Amino acid sequence: MDCKPISERQGTAFLISRFISPSDAPVSKAALCLVSLCLLTAVLSACSGLAPPAIENSSWALQSQQLEKLTHWQLRGRVNVHYNNESQTPRIQWQHSGRAYQIRLWGTFNAGNTLIRGEPGRVSLDQGDQHFSATSPEELILQQLGYELPISYLEFWIKGLPVPDRPAALFFNDLNQLTAFEQADWTVTLSDLRDYGDLALPRRVDIMRSENDAQLRFIGLRWTLPNNRGSAR
């Protein structure tokens, strides 16, 4: 798997510090560390049951262009993370404005409240009285967890868009909607697509890599787009 850092243009950080006080239960340190790891990389397990990869069609070509141009958006929901027999479901609020982003993650009764802010050349993480910063999301995850991961892919995957200019196998349903794709040894599955004007965005995104037991599920996503995009239908 290619886990080298990718360009700043694709930068989106999702990190939860492992330095959380035991009094912040019920969201545990291991689980929050896991959210960092998984939020920055994961994908729903196997593609068994999916149709063979379809030839890219004209409707998808148009949809992908529109998704790539969508750089201002907000979402709220939950993210279920399962790793090493531990599972947690913190809430998530993600605001993306051009090349700047702000991500908040928290558990029950605001436990483990974590705020991540990023822009080209800088990303920071605040959790209680703990503060961390780095020049890129890849550097921050490497500093805190010791892993090199393709964390910048998520700003594309969460919208249902494979990272542009990188190989991907696409899977479509009978309506020519993209329902899953494989990229960089990960599988992303999209569910409950909702129309926002001329765009279709998922209410659920499942992510998993087949070589480990890390699973990430974005659940009940509620999108807010610029006014000219309309409301979900």
Classify residue 233: in a domain, yes or no.
Answer: no
Classify residue 175: in a domain, yes or no.
Answer: yes
Classify residue 107: in a domain, yes or no.
Answer: yes
Classify residue 91: in a domain, yes or no.
Answer: yes
Q: What are 95-134's pLDDT values in tens digits?
A: 999 989 998 989 865 667 888 898 888 999 898 888 999 9
40: which DSSP letter?
Answer: T
**Bigger pLDDT: 95 or 233?**
95
Q: How much is the average pLDDT of 46-61?
A: 56
Confidence of residue 158 (pLDDT cuts 50, 70, 90): very high
Q: What are 129-152's pLDDT values in tens digits?
A: 889 999 988 788 778 755 555 677
Q: What are 38-51's pLDDT values in tens digits?
A: 554 333 333 334 44
Classify residue 20: in a domain, yes or no.
Answer: yes
The domain containing residue 50 runs over which residues? 8-225
Classify residue 190: in a domain, yes or no.
Answer: yes
The per-residue b/e assignment along 121-135, b for 16 or more CB within 10 angstroms, e otherwise, is: eebbbbbeeeebebe
Provide the number of structural domains found in the chain: 1
User: Residue 62 has what pLDDT?
Assistant: 92
Residue 198: partners with Cβ closer than 8 Å, 6 or more residues away: 66, 229
Domain of 128, CATH number, reads: 2.50.20.10
Mean pLDDT of all residues belonging to the chain = 76
Collapsing DSSP states into helix, strand and coil, what is residue 126? strand
